[in-house]
């Protein structure tokens, strides 16, 4: 086993940009076609991330999540296993800001 797995460290800026672009693309698909074509095709994390970008509280509730619980899940994707917990402990400020920046770009 190695301790230099990429999941432990935060993604680099290019990877974060790709995450953001992917979520923007998914949000555009949902805006155009609705959730029915994607809800069961995408992973839980993809659905939650898209719902966060769209500010879709109904979809989050449908998944049994709140905004905060969905942000907690994404904190690990956005900041890695080593830094995600510190953002959760700090009230998800960095994760919230990252999603806010994606929404502002749209």
In a domain, residue 80? The reply is yes
pLDDT tens-place string over residues 35-51: 999 999 999 999 999 99
In a domain, residue 4? The reply is no
In a domain, residue 40? The reply is yes
Average pLDDT of span 5-22: 85
Range of the domain at 42: 13-105
Question: pLDDT band at 75, cuts 50/70/90?
Answer: very high
In a domain, residue 3? The reply is no
Q: Are 85 and 94 in contact (CB under 8 A)?
A: no
Predicted TM-score (pTM) of the model is 0.90
In a domain, residue 20? The reply is yes
User: Would you tell me how many other CB atoms lie within 10 Å of the CB of residue 65?
Assistant: 20
User: 4-18, 30-44, 85-99: which range is least confident on average?
Assistant: 4-18
In a domain, residue 2? The reply is no
In a domain, residue 67? The reply is yes
The total number of structural domains that make up the chain? 1
In a domain, residue 5? The reply is no
pLDDT at 2 over 70: no
């Amino acid at each position: 086993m190695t301790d230099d797995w990429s999941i432990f460290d935060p993604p680099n800026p290019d990877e974060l940009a790709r995450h953001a672009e992917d979520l923007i693309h998914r949000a555009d698909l949902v805006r155009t076609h609705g959730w029915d074509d994607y809800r069961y095709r995408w992973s839980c994390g993809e659905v939650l991330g898209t719902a966060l970008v769209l500010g879709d509280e109904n979809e989050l509730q449908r998944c049994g999540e709140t905004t905060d619980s969905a942000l907690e899940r994404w904190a690990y994707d956005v900041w890695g296993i080593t830094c995600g917990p510190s953002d959760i402990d700090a009230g998800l400020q960095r994760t919230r800001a990252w999603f806010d920046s994606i929404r502002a770009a749209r």
